[in-house]
Amino acid sequence: MDIQNIYINDDIIFHIFKNLSYHSKINFSQTNNYMYDNYYENIKYDIYFFLHTNYRLYKCCINRFKYDKLEIKILGMAAISKPNIIIMSEKIKYYDLRYIFELMMNDLDINDSDIINANQSINMRFILNRIKSCKSFNRFETKNNIQWEPSLRSLHKCFNFTQ
The answer to whether the CB of 97 falls within 8 A of the CB of 155 is yes
Q: Establish how many alpha carbons lie within 13 A of residue 110's alpha carbon, considering only the half-sphere containing its beta carbon.
A: 22
The answer to whether the CB of 25 falls within 8 A of the CB of 46 is yes
Would you say the C-alpha torsion 84, 76, 99, 94 has a positive or negative sign?
negative
Which amino acid makes up residue 4?
A: Q
The answer to whether the CB of 155 falls within 8 A of the CB of 98 is yes
Calpha distance 27→84 (Å, rounded): 31
Calpha distance 136→19 (Å, rounded): 39
**Listed residue (33, 34, 11, 36) closest to 25, CA to CA:** 36
What's the pTM value of the predicted model, to 2 decimals? 0.88
Instruction: From first to last of the 163 residues of the chain, give the pLDDT tens digit.
Output: 666 777 888 888 889 889 999 999 999 888 888 888 888 888 999 999 999 999 999 999 999 999 999 999 999 999 999 999 998 888 989 999 999 999 999 999 999 999 999 998 899 999 999 999 999 999 999 999 999 999 999 999 988 876 5
Cα 5–Cα 10–Cα 3 angle in degrees, nearest 5: 20
> What is the domain partition of the chain in residue ranges?
67-163
